Chain A
Amino acid sequence: MKKTYKIEVDCANCANMMEDAAKKTEGVKDCTVSFMTLKMKIEFEEGADVDKVMENVIANCKKVEPDCEIIL
């Protein structure tokens, strides 16, 4: 399953780091962050609990870039 979220982040490199952080989160199969459209597209693993996974994605992203927001 794929979902797209709006994000807020200030710098391009931070967006890249968010992408890496989200990719490493359990339950996330793949992720692309586009700094230009400020969108995060996440492909979830089969049968993953989306809400739970997103909680972890946000936590991991905050670790690499405290200033970022993911709007659920």
Chain B
Amino acid sequence: MNKKQKNLLLRIIIAAVFFVPLYLISEGYVDLGIPDWGVFILFLVPYLLVGYDILKKAFKGIMNKQVFDENFLMTVATIGAIVLGEYGEGVAVMLLYQVGELFQSYAVGKSRKNITELMDIRPDYANIEVDGELTQVDPEEVEVGSIITVQPGEKIPLDGVVVEGTSALNTSALTGESKPVEVSEGTEVLSGSINMTGVLRIETTAEFDESTASKILDLVENAASLKAKSENFISKFARYYTPIVCYAALALAVIPPLAIMFLKGSGAAGYDSALSLWGDWILRACTFLVISCPCAVVISIPLSFFAGIGGASRQGILVKGSNYLETLSEVRVVAFDKTGTITKGNFEVTAVHHTPIDEAKLLEYAAHAECHSSHPIALSIIKAYGKRIDQSRVTDVQEISGHGIIAKVDGDEVAIGNDKLMTKVGTEAIECHHVGTIIHVAINGEYCGHIVIFDELKDNSKEAMQALRKVGVQKTVMLTGDAEAVAKKVADDVGITEYRSQLLPADKVTCVEELLKECGEGHRLAFVGDGINDAPVLSRADIGIAMGAMGSDAAIEAADIVLMDDDPLKIAKAIKISRKCLRIVKQNIALALGVKFICLILAAFGIANMWIAIIADVGVMIVAVLNAIRCMIVGKL
């Protein structure tokens, strides 16, 4: 508890101690012969003690023309009750209101702390060797290329490459994966992971602000400022709700007693006098004012989203805003990129066919032609060639998007790519009966055979599709630049309902647009990609999910949701988390508004008094806040 909260708690306790005997006296349980004005003055002690700041704020609010804030409402309601002789009720309402305020401030502060702690991967220091001794410095001061030392049990403060030592890292704060990752010399390590077993010396490759830990923190902290529709709905609602209830209260105080007096005369409706008639209705109106505070709903909605985002980030699912959590819960169609998303993206050359020249020679040509490309397929060919690449042998490289590469190797024109490229260079590709990615090669316009490359499925891809179906995703679509045969095999193997093959990067956007049109009302489309070349598609879909994004800037920027490890199962999990969160948000809205509405009606008919109103109000808030915290518990979903 902070100082302000302790102070308030003390005031509540002292006021309560004063209040209880006074209440007994005023209700006639104890008779000490104190006159009514004496009781009134004694009641002022706890009232002012517990409520002076509310009165002050209400006064300031009126000065600033901010009439309809809760301080004003509480002030009018309690003073109204006291003036009407209901001293006990007036003081009790103020007391309970403050109890509610204290609880709210404490609970929210506490959960804010819990959630931020959950996400806290911010490293506090880095160990740098100065004159042979280790000193702790602020990670922000460490320059790129410095050597830092990380002891077992410490957080890795900056991204870098291990230069000395071996160890196991706990990356659960980044990926949600609890299995330790083995690292040794030459391994890239990310800030935010925890060194578990050995001492590591790391050469840093990024400044603090550019390091993974800072970027993730930034992303999650900013998530709360992208508000969901239901959040905006509630703040708009609050803007109208309070004034409307206030005017209703005013109407309730004036119209019914006037009507009764006019129609029946003050004595006829069971009232002793005009004063008690007015008193009764004014008290009902004051009860209205007590119920008009919108805080329970207003607090519980952002808290639910915040807790949901925090819980998801603990599972290695970064959600960039509450609005995305909301959209994700409505996803019914999921489109996938193939490579790196459903498959591992570890291509391997499995065969070379129909080549008139030596296989090794063909690979040599192919590897050289592809030497400037970072595409996984190019890398696999270079790997299969296995020897050093002499870049000076390669000239005039042109990359033809969606087709392949044409380059001069030792002066020979090598065209390497799909069958469309073969047609382009004036030769014909020979179809391959093997399933895999087929890379055709032509040298000087002559067809020289093809290289078969195959990519393994990810371990969880199949389960991931089943899990998606279980959460109500009606259609899964795979979009790939690969050949029909490969697409069909992969789709059949993992159980994807539809696929589109042989797409150019631009076609994927068109495909997603078509799929978006097919989506029914209220159904959303998510696109899952590895984020490196899928940026336009990621941003076009309702929700872009980037996979395996550890360290990939493009993904973090283009996607709305980032899965920190490669696991496709996390997609279904993210949807489940979003559904749970939204369910809780809806429960809270219904609960808070429902109880308020019932109380308003009961108060209007004089059934609920101020006591019930304030207890309902504070109670609803407590339940709503506790319910919101449940969003954080997503580990078992």
Chain A residues with CB under 8 Å of chain B are: 10-14, 16-17, 19-20, 32, 34-39, 41, 63-67
B221 touches A39 (CB 8 A): yes
Verify B224–A37 contact, CB threshold 8 A. Answer: yes
A-B contact list, 7 entries, CB within 8 Å: A11-B70, A11-B101, A11-B104, A17-B66, A37-B116, A37-B224, A37-B306
Residues of A contacting B: mostly: mixed
Check B294 for interface membership: any CB of A closer than 8 A: yes
Nearest residue in A to B64 (C-beta to C-beta)? A63
Is B227 a contact of A13 with CB atoms below 8 Å? no
Residue pair A10, B101 in contact (C-beta under 8 Å): yes
In the bound complex, what is the Cα–Cα distance between A22 and B537 (angstroms)? 35
B105 at interface, CB cutoff 8 A: yes
Known: A10-B101, A16-B235, A16-B238. A37 touches B299 (CB 8 A): no
Contact call A13/B224, Cβ cutoff below 8 A? no
Contacts A10-B101, A11-B104, A41-B225 known; A35 to B299 CB distance under 8 Å?
yes
**Which A-chain residue is minimally distant from B296 (CB atoms)?**
A12
Residues in A whose Cβ lies below 8 Å from that of B227: 32
Using Cβ atoms and an 8 Å threshold, which residues of chain B touch A35?
108, 299, 302
What are the interface flags for B297-309 relative to A under an 8 Å C-beta threshold, 1 for contact and 0 otherwise? 0110011011000
Chain B interface residues (CB < 8 Å from chain A): 4, 57, 60-61, 64-66, 69-70, 101, 104-105, 108, 112, 115-116, 221-222, 224-227, 235, 238-239, 293-295, 298-299, 302-303, 305-306
Chain A residues lying within 8 Å of B221, measured Cβ to Cβ, are 37, 39
Q: Once the chains are docked, how many angstroms separate the CA of A12 from the CA of B112?
A: 13
A34/B224 in contact, CB under 8 A: yes
Contacting pair A12 B225 (CB below 8 A) = no
| Residues in chain A near residue B306, CB distance under 8 A | 36-37
Determine whether the beta carbon of A36 is less than 8 Å from that of B112.
Answer: yes
Q: Which residues of A contact B108 (CB under 8 A)?
A: 12, 35
Chain B residues with CB under 8 Å of A13's CB are 70, 238, 293-295, 298-299
CA–CA, A61 and B454, complex, Å: 62
- Interchain nearest-CB distance for A52 vs B (Å): 21
Most buried by B among A17, A32, A36, A41: A36
- When the two chains form their complex, are residues A64 and B64 in contact, meaning their CB atoms are under 8 A apart? yes
Residue pair A12, B295 in contact (C-beta under 8 Å): yes
A45-B313 Cα distance, complex, nearest whole Å:
33
Name 14 extra pairs, CB < 8 A, besides A11-B298, A13-B293.
A11-B105, A11-B295, A12-B299, A12-B302, A17-B66, A36-B224, A36-B303, A37-B112, A37-B116, A39-B221, A39-B224, A39-B225, A66-B60, A66-B61
Give the nearest-CB partner of B112 in chain A. A36
A16 to B115, CA, bound (A): 21
* A56 vs chain B, min Cβ distance (A): 14
Q: Which of A13, A37, A38 has the most CB of B within 10 A?
A: A13
CB distance from A37 to the nearest CB of B (A): 5
Residues on B with beta carbons closer than 8 Å to the beta carbon of A12: 108, 295, 298-299, 302-303
Collect the chain B residues with CB atoms within 8 Å of residue A39's CB.
221, 224-225
> B70 — which chain A residues lie within 8 A by C-beta?
11, 13
Chain A neighbourhood of B302, CB < 8 A: 12, 34-36
Q: Which residues of chain A are within 8 angstroms of B299 by Cβ–Cβ distance?
A: 11-13, 35
How far is the CB of B218 from the nearest CB of chain A, in Å? Answer: 10
Question: Shortest beta-carbon distance, B597 to chain A, in Å?
Answer: 18
Q: How far is the CB of B367 from chain A (nearest CB, A)?
A: 47
How many angstroms from the CA of A34 to the CA of B310 in the assembled complex?
14
A8 to chain B, nearest CB (A): 10
Expressed in whole angstroms, the Cα–Cα distance for A66 and B54 within the complex equals: 11
Residues of B within 8 Å of A14, CB to CB, are 69
